[in-house]
Amino acid sequence: MSGPLSEPLSVPGSAPPPRTVHTHCPYCALQCGTRLGHALGEVTVTPSAFPVNQGGLCQKGWTAPEVLSTADRLREPLVRGADGRLAPAGWDAALDLVAGRLREIRRAHGPDAVGVFGGGGLTNEKAYLLGKFARLALRTSRIDYNGRFCMSSAAAASNAAFGVDRGLPFPVTDLGRADVVLLAGANPAETMPPLMRHLDRAALIVLDPRRTPTAERAAVHLRPAPGTDLALALGLLQLTVLDGRLDHAFVRERTNGFEAAWQRALPWTPERTERVTGVPVAAQREAVRMLADARRAYVLTGRGAEQHSKGADTVSAFVNLALALGLPGRDGSGYGCLTGQGNGQGGRELGQKADQLPGYRMIDDPAAREHMAAVWGVEAAALPGAGPSAYELLDSLGTAGGPRALLVFGSNPVVSAPNAGHVTERLAALDLLVVADFVPSETARMADVVLPVAQWAEEEGTLTNLEGRVLRRRALLAPPPGVRGDLEVLRGLAVRLGEPAERYPVEPREVFEELRRATAGGRADYSGVSYERLDAGEALHWPCPVVPSGPAHPGTPRLFLDGFAHPDGRARFVPVEHRDAAELPGRDLPLYATTGRVLAHYQSGAQTRRVAGLTAVEPEPFVEIHPDAARRAGVTAGGLARVVSARGAVVARVRLVESLRTDTVFLPFHFPGDGRANLLTGGALDPRSGMPEFKVSAVRVEPVDVVPGGAVSV
């Protein structure tokens, strides 16, 4: 498919020759390989034979070029005037204004009065420089990113169990050899369809309260009540041991801590597990049998298991199950997490996360601070400490002791953050909100200053996909006149704040060279990766350290084959216990609400809602509800319903789904305004990861009155 460019990006009067570049899709963490072409004002996309997509694309990938020419593309800075309206301004005026206001706020309230909120779609170079900018130019500890809402629970669990966090510690293509794959809270048939090509051979065990397109392909579909995945994982571990399927040799030779974890699972008999989760004993037993009898088996977790106030413990419970079966660290079997955002992996390991420095170094580690200070040419004492997690940062905006200014790069928290109504109020309370984006997202519309930045097909750089593979993004087009790259924006602000210009390169290749030095010796070591090696077609998975002499390091596509990343080389069982969700249904709010994605849209929908073909498929918010629950609520198929939680209400079109649990409703979170599913979700956080509880909210459903003339009464 193709999309016309709204204006030529070539020199006037010239006829540029056709051009093609090999790059990657701008959406999910598969980072499917694509070829982009540009001729006669048209941008075309075709899939390449890249291993993760094997010549396929989903409908989002096919239509990605259309966003390049969206009619409301941001093309010049906007500044909010005295009349309350955003009006065009020159770049110097806009950056001068931002820098001046930041200096005033820091003088009055200190460096932590300025916050930075990044995105999992930023390139590695932009994520790295954004973290450096926050900690050096702003001297703030208040930086986090929307990847905290993605796989932070799996990151916490993987670090505890294995000593390192990489979404998949093996190549995606290994899944093509699997006999059995357990998918806990993952729906790749909609969220990353090309992955399903690698699962065609495997028998699937799917844990999901909904009968998703992925669950429809499952040999066994386990439907736990929302918020009970942890209990189910404990029950599966109990069955694994008592049915004689524990891999004793693996546990003895390659792990520590089994007994403590086993004592927590011991009370979770199959019958108790069924009472709590609703999953029949026979289905539990069949799932364990399939995993234990398979020659090659994988346990994969997704957002459904992670996005809970106990998400890290839930993932740890599934990791414990995988360890008990002897799967991690074996070629052809293992545990992994299906990362969501395009650069969710690189985004956190290169410095956007509040508690981390580049290379997956922890910011409270004195050795890590000394290393980064040496790379950046500053004293270690000058680096700020760890700041609050993403939701805590957003929750504190405009409060006493919280940030008075926020800079947002590549995120749309008005739609994507939990407790979205409250977050919107906190954004409105700021003295200064600055948003860098390429479309007027819902967050950008609230900003005091909007900075137009380049899109994916207009920039060079690297990203890291869900299997830890470093990829080259290549530019097909120049950005439109008036648009700058994020790296240019960061240097422009940094210089105005008194930083030396050379500390903030604007060439991605130059930033990457510094990034290599910054990550050297860290858990996520990129020092042996280079643009030259990537451009030559080498498949480089981190860790890929620099080798002083001899052949270059080939990268590490498969972690843990020779040992886990803890000092003793052994994996750790983590003892965990089930606990209820932060809120449960009751008399006034009798239903569970759970949120997620649909095939046609991505994240907050800021990009995909601008593609006509995708909005034609899913044009408006909807709520899935079982027919029996709909009758009790007084709503009908195709009508409008109001879904109400303790925090807010959503208006959505009713879809009756007979396969859904009668106690559960589902809403996609891609839509703005009164259709924001995250108006329902709360601020309960996982104490280990900072992950909000997106997947469980207590709600009621009620009909919406329609007044004469067809207007909805909200």
The CATH 2.40.40.20 domain(s) of the chain lie at: 591-703
Q: Tell me how many degrees the CA angle 664-279-261 measures, rounded to the nearest 5.
A: 110
> Where do runs of H (alpha helix) occur along 163-227?
188-191
**Confidence at residue 339, expressed as pLDDT on a 0 to 100 scale:** 86
CA 365 to CA 341: how far, in whole Å? Answer: 28
**Confidence at residue 5, expressed as pLDDT on a 0 to 100 scale:** 33
Residue 357: which of 381, 345, 373, 339 has the closest Cα?
373
Token pair recorded at residue 604: 């907050």
Q: Does the structural domain 78-149+356-506 have CATH classification 3.40.50.740?
A: yes
Is 206 in a helix, a strand, or coil? strand
**Confidence at residue 340, expressed as pLDDT on a 0 to 100 scale:** 82
Three state DSSP letters for 91-129: HHHHHHHHHHHHHHHHHHHCHHHEEEEECCCCCHHHHHH
Residue ranges with strand state E in 577-670:
591-596, 622-625, 640-644, 649-656, 664-668
The CATH 3.40.50.740 domain(s) of the chain lie at: 78-149+356-506
Architecture of domain 2-68: Single Sheet (2.20)
Q: Give pTM, 2 decimals.
A: 0.95
Match 């200064």 to its residue by tokens.
Answer: 432
**Confidence at residue 332, expressed as pLDDT on a 0 to 100 scale:** 94
Half-sphere exposure of 257 (CA within 13 A, CB side): 18
The CATH 2.20.25.90 domain(s) of the chain lie at: 2-68
**Confidence at residue 151, expressed as pLDDT on a 0 to 100 scale:** 87
CA 466 to CA 91: how far, in whole Å? Answer: 36
**Confidence at residue 18, expressed as pLDDT on a 0 to 100 scale:** 66
Consecutive sets of 10 residues in the chain, 714 residues long: mean pLDDT of each?
34 58 96 94 94 96 96 97 97 98 98 97 98 98 95 96 97 98 97 97 97 98 98 98 97 98 98 98 98 98 97 98 98 94 91 95 97 98 97 97 97 98 98 98 98 97 97 96 98 98 98 98 98 97 95 97 97 98 97 97 96 97 98 98 98 98 97 98 96 98 69 38
> Where do runs of H (alpha helix) occur along 278-350?
281-293, 303-306, 311-324, 344-347
User: Which of the listed CATH numbers 3.40.630.30, 3.30.70.600, 3.40.50.150, 3.40.228.10 matches domain 152-337?
Assistant: 3.40.228.10
Residue 180: which of 207, 206, 203 has the closest Cα?
203
The CATH 3.40.228.10 domain(s) of the chain lie at: 152-337
Record: fold of 591-703:
Barwin-like endoglucanases (2.40.40)
